Amino acid sequence: MRHTLPIAPQFYVTAPQPCPYLEGRMERKLFTALQGESADKLNDSLSQQGFRRSQNVLYRPSCAECSACLSARISVEDFKPSRSQRRTAARNSDIARRATSPWASEEQYELFRSYLDSRHADGGMADMDVFEFAAMIEETPIRSRVVEYSNTDEKSLIGVSLTDVLTDGLSMVYSFYAPDMARRSLGTWMILDHIDIAREAGLPYVYLGYWVPGSQKMGYKSRFSGLEVYAGGQWQKMRDPEKFNADMHPLSTDPIAEQVANIHLPDTRPVR
């Protein structure tokens, strides 16, 4: 089904399918194409309204009877590392970081396959081949970087993040890492490092994707101080994760047409 604002872009809704985060629920997404000369402006604007990028598509959960998925970001200014996070940073002080243009490599794909086979063997990306992986990394119409992390002793790639650069922060589109290095807590470390990158660049936020109350897969995000979630049409500070329970009331989600009408689009008219 297509839903259109008075000006482009056009918004669509996916067919319901089983939710990958909460058992027994169905998910549905509202999405639009990310293309043209105004792609950066559109990505910035919609990211600030809870959307996420996947290649040349921007999407946001729009489930019929559930509003559990909440877009999450870390306020760099408000973030204070916990004792555990400081230990994680110390354990990974030997890791080297390298930011490159969004190009895929065989070494990245091998690490990606190892990560999926160990952590998400039954997930939606489980069957992704090398060409689909390359498309995920390289098909970006906006300013993106691949941030690689290597073990300085062995010179081996142990972590990768596909990261978008927004006007107000960094968006970690997709990250993966060596699954056999549990002691390093590489997922946490990569977020900590992105907070450092954002701070050095003077960017106020690090966008983490969706946090889902009740989902063990997403629980780690609530352990970062300075976390904000997009709920009720605005960003709210995360004070007590328990207060953000999944809302299953049949009236908890606005009709699609109303959701689209409430989306704020950037002014893409040429300056005269």
Q: pLDDT averaged over the chain?
A: 88
- Domain regions of the chain by residue span: 2-69+245-261, 73-243
* Number of helices followed by number of strands (H, E) in the chain: 6, 15
Give yes or no for residue 4 having a pLDDT over 70. no
Global confidence as pTM: 0.90
Q: CA 95 to CA 186: how far, in whole Å? A: 10
The DSSP element (H or E) to which 159 belongs, if any, is strand 156-166
* Domain 73-243 is found in CATH 3.40.50.1100: no
pLDDT at site 261: 87
Q: CA 107 to CA 125: how far, in whole Å? A: 18
Give yes or no for residue 40 having a pLDDT over 90. yes
Q: CA 1 to CA 255: how far, in whole Å? A: 13
Q: CA 224 to CA 104: how far, in whole Å? A: 30
Give yes or no for residue 227 having a pLDDT over 70. yes
> What is the amino acid identity at position 241?
P
Q: CA 46 to CA 51: how far, in whole Å? A: 5
Tens-digit pLDDT profile for residues 116-161: 988 765 666 778 899 999 999 999 999 999 999 998 776 799 999 9
